Structure 1
Amino acid sequence: MEFTEIVQERRGRGAWIRLARPKALNTLTPTLVGEFNAALDQALADPAVIAIVVTGTGRAFCAGADLKFLNELPEDQRNRRMAEFLESVLQLMLRLEKLPKPVIGAVNGLATGGGMELLLCCDLVVAAGSARLGDGHANFGLLPGGGGSVRLPRKIGPTRAKYLFFTGELVPAAELVAAGLVNEVVEDAALEQAVERLVGKLSNKSPLGLARMKTLVDDGLEQPREVALRAELVAGGLHAHSFDMREGIAAFNEKRSPQFRGV
């Protein structure tokens, strides 16, 4: 399909999805959500893609949802269409979170509201030094609608999360490294190169191994410790039958680089 609100790009083994509504701070629309899902379909179908990168255009990563389209509808349709749109955003977030390939958030600028919620669904986050992050819903009398109230406390702890929720403040990305939301902050001009290096570090890893490790970590956070440990043991037994594990061991013994197939 032809994209109008995102830009899709392949860089090495990374599939880049760039939100492309800079004048509107890359806010989410029904069209953008549909295009985002289509881009994910293509990235997942390509075995050469090891990781998916999400970033923005201009001075924002994403400033949340754009609800202006509701003004063009008859009043009796607005509540229904808003509910449908928010459900589509929520489903996109859930899908992004559960993707079998690592997702990297490249925060080029402002990330607030739904933009913050989008980042919470990324596995790794690299941010530009000038990037500022926060929730912002309280500034407009709104509630999080993309899973922020659930994911943010689990990511950075309830006290830090409540501060961002209650105050609506935007804070420098560097302040959220110690909190665990951001992995690395780099100079603005070095953001994309830093993300490309990170994708490069993943490029020689087993796609199957990465997918299973992601599942173990994410599922383990939601389970009692003993249940999670048993799940890891079961996954290890299953993984022992994979080509990639056998290839990895053979490559180690033969002192060569492994040639993984993702199976």
Structure 2
Amino acid sequence: MPGNSNPALLAERRGEALWLVLNRPAALNPIGMAMVRALEDALDALPQTPGQRPAALVITGAGRAFSAGGDLSEMRAADGDFTSGAPLFREISRVLGRLAGLDLPVIAAVNGICVAGGLEIALACDLVVAEETARFGDAHANFGLLPGGGGSVRLPRAVGASRAKEMMMTGAVYDAVTMQQWGLVNRITPAGGLQAGVAALVAELARKSPLGLKRMKSMVDGGLDLALDAALARELDICEAHDASFDRNEGLAAFTQKRPPRFTGT
């Protein structure tokens, strides 16, 4: 993948991870149609070949913000009236669904402001690493708007319904420590230490079986909306299928032989 695949979005391979950088820093990285299309282009170009495929995908923002949300200027017509936001919201929702469904770990590396559509991007990721100066919020209520990129669905699953309602209804902004306590943020790094903190997490993930991580993600995400018995049965089915994989047997052999495993993702 080229280093600069689209002006709105930079795609950079950094070690074992592919970093996607929202790249409109002067406007706090708003999520407009160009940004959404650039993100989809990056997902389309994600390497599939073993040895080239990254261990994780990381999303972050250029400048002092992760993202301040949807590009509201795109809802302003030439005559000054406001047009429907449905086309943009539908595209955001669809592409974030693709992001959430990737079969590898997706990490939000949150620097600075992460509100509204920015929060919805973070919610579509598997793991959230935040700088201690990061700030999170839904913020739609401050402007009489509604979340249209999955926020009303994914936020309650991350922090619980009551806390999600508080975040949505008050439009308040919260610090990284509070968001970690509420279950949205996994790790907090010192100011200036975000890239190093994410790199350390990626290094941890890269030592694991890619197939194992893929199936763990499927277990969790696929079981969330199932009844308990159905989710447990699904877990057993996936475990039984995993018994035939190279990585499972390589892991057992490495344990027996007291050596690091050499996973292939198969």
Question: When the two structures are superposed, what TM-score results if normalisation uses the length of structure 2?
Answer: 0.93
| Structure 2 unaligned regions, length at least 5 | none
Q: Select the residue among 39, 49, 57 that pairs with 1:52.
A: 57
Judged with a 3 Å threshold, the aligned counterparts in structure 2 of structure 1 residues 76 and 126 are, in CA distance, closer, same or farther, namely closer
Distance 2:69 2:82 in 1: 22
1:196-211 maps to which residues of 2 (within 5 A)? 196-211=199-214
Q: Is the 8 Å Cα contact of residues 77 and 83 (structure 2) preserved in structure 1?
A: no
Partner of residue 153, structure 1: 156
Q: Select the residue among 40, 43, 57 that pairs with 2:43.
A: 40
Partner of residue 248, structure 1: 251
1:109-258 maps to which residues of 2 (within 5 A)? 109-258=112-261
Distance 1:76 1:173 in 2: 37
Distance 2:188 2:22 in 1: 20
Distance 1:164 1:157 in 2: 11
Distance 2:11 2:265 in 1: 24
Deviations 1:94-124 (A, max 9, x none): 1111110001111001011011111111111
Distance 1:127 1:76 in 2: 37
Q: Is the 8 Å Cα contact of residues 43 and 52 (structure 1) preserved in structure 2?
A: no
Partner of residue 102, structure 1: 105
Q: Is the 8 Å Cα contact of residues 25 and 59 (structure 1) preserved in structure 2?
A: yes
Give the partner amino acid of 2:39: F
Give the C-alpha shift of residue 161 in structure 1.
0.9
Give the C-alpha shift of residue 204 in structure 1.
1.2
Deviations 1:204-236 (A, max 9, x none): 111111010001011112111111111110001
Judged with a 3 Å threshold, the aligned counterparts in structure 2 of structure 1 residues 220 and 44 are, in CA distance, closer, same or farther, namely farther
Give the C-alpha shift of residue 76 in structure 1.
10
SS at match of 1:95: helix
Judged with a 3 Å threshold, the aligned counterparts in structure 2 of structure 1 residues 170 and 199 are, in CA distance, closer, same or farther, namely same
Give the partner amino acid of 2:169: F
Distance 1:148 1:76 in 2: 26
Aligned length: 261
RMSD of Structure 2 on Structure 1 (CA): 1.8
Partner of residue 63, structure 1: 68
Higher helix share: 1
Judged with a 3 Å threshold, the aligned counterparts in structure 2 of structure 1 residues 77 and 152 are, in CA distance, closer, same or farther, namely closer
Q: Is the 8 Å Cα contact of residues 5 and 21 (structure 1) preserved in structure 2?
A: yes
Deviations 1:187-217 (A, max 9, x none): 1211110000000001111111101000101
Partner of residue 30, structure 2: 27
Give the partner amino acid of 2:259: R
Distance 1:88 1:166 in 2: 24
Distance 2:250 2:110 in 1: 36
Partner of residue 17, structure 1: 20
Q: Is the 8 Å Cα contact of residues 134 and 164 (structure 1) preserved in structure 2?
A: yes
Distance 1:164 1:138 in 2: 9
Deviations 1:135-175 (A, max 9, x none): 00000000110111111111111111111111101111111
Distance 1:237 1:69 in 2: 49
Judged with a 3 Å threshold, the aligned counterparts in structure 2 of structure 1 residues 44 and 149 are, in CA distance, closer, same or farther, namely farther
Q: Is the 8 Å Cα contact of residues 17 and 54 (structure 1) preserved in structure 2?
A: yes
Distance 2:258 2:101 in 1: 34
Question: When the two structures are superposed, what TM-score results if normalisation uses the length of structure 1?
Answer: 0.94
Distance 1:226 1:233 in 2: 11
Distance 1:109 1:261 in 2: 37
Judged with a 3 Å threshold, the aligned counterparts in structure 2 of structure 1 residues 110 and 76 are, in CA distance, closer, same or farther, namely closer
Percent identical: 46
